[in-house]
């Protein structure tokens, strides 16, 4: 598979075209906006946390295929996780994106492994991490994060 097709593989395209949990969550307990001033992309992540577990995660906003698919995959991966588990998942994704993860370790992040095609496109890594940073900010109680701050 060439780099481009690894980047835009089926899973990514599918989540881009039919993003899961793509809606606002009026009853959310946590929310934050992630902003990438380089491209103007903006993603809002909503969480409902009950008893230390993420009961629901949703997102809204405009973005490229990579950031949208990453956000959609994130909502599926984090639903039902405890906050500390969710942070670990993000750490795994970061490693996959920056090329630090051993290929074998990919199993643990499941479908999220589809994001690792991004590692060959350094200019696009921030697209993939944007929704995750918004998630982290929401949990930390920060209203807004920027990729460039």
Partner 1 sequence: MLLDRAQEIAPEVLAEVRGAFPILGQKIGDHPLVYLDNSATTQKPDAVIDAVTRYYREDNANIHRGVHALSQRATSAYEDARAVVARFIGAPGPEQIVFTRGTTEAINLVAWSFARPRLKKGDVILLTEMEHHANIVPWQLVAEATGARVVPAPVTDSGEVDLEAFRSLLEHEPVALAAFVYISNSLGTVNPVETMLAAARAAGVPTLVDAAQAVSQRPIDVVALDCDFLAFSGHKLFGPTGIGVLYGKRKHLEAMPPYQGGGDMIANVSFAGTTFKGPPERFEAGTPNIAGVVGLGAAVEWFAEQPRERLWAHEDALVRRATEGLSEIDGVRIVGTAKDKASVVSFLLAEAHPHDIGTFLDAEGIAIRAGHHCCQPLMTRYGIPGTARASFSIYNTMEEADRFVKAVARVARFFS
Binding residues for partner 1 (CB under 8 A): 2-4, 7-8, 13, 16, 38-42, 62-66, 121, 123-124, 127
Rounded Cα distance, 74 and 115, in Å: 11
Contact 97, 125 (CB under 8 A): yes
Closest approach of Cβ 65 to partner 1, in Å? 5
At its nearest, how many Å lie between partner 1 and the CB of residue 83? 31
First to last CA, the chain: 35
Could you give the CA distance from residue 88 to residue 102 in angstroms, rounded to a whole number?
A: 16
Looking at the Cβ atoms of 62 and 100, the one nearer to partner 1 is: 62
In the DSSP assignment, the letter for residue 50 is E
For partner 1, give the closer residue by CB, 92 or 117.
117
C-beta of 104 vs 123, nearer to partner 1: 123
Strand partners for 35: 42, 146
Of 78 and 128, nearer to partner 1 (C-beta) is: 128
Nearest approach in angstroms of CB 44 to partner 1 is 14
């Amino acid at each position: 598979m060439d780099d481009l097709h690894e980047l835009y593989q089926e899973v990514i395209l599918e989540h881009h075209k039919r993003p899961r949990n793509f809606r606002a969550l009026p009853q959310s307990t946590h929310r934050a906006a992630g902003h990438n001033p380089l491209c103007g992309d903006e993603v809002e992540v909503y969480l409902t946390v009950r008893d230390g577990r993420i009961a629901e995660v949703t997102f809204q906003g405009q973005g490229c295929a990579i950031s949208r698919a990453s956000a959609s995959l994130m909502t599926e991966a984090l639903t039902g996780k405890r906050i500390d588990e969710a942070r670990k998942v993000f750490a795994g994704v970061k490693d996959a994106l920056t090329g630090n993860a051993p290929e074998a370790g990919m199993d643990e992040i499941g479908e999220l492994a589809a994001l690792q095609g991004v590692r060959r496109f350094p200019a696009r890594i921030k697209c993939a991490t944007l929704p995750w940073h918004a998630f982290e900010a929401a949990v930390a109680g920060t209203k807004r994060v920027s990729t460039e701050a």
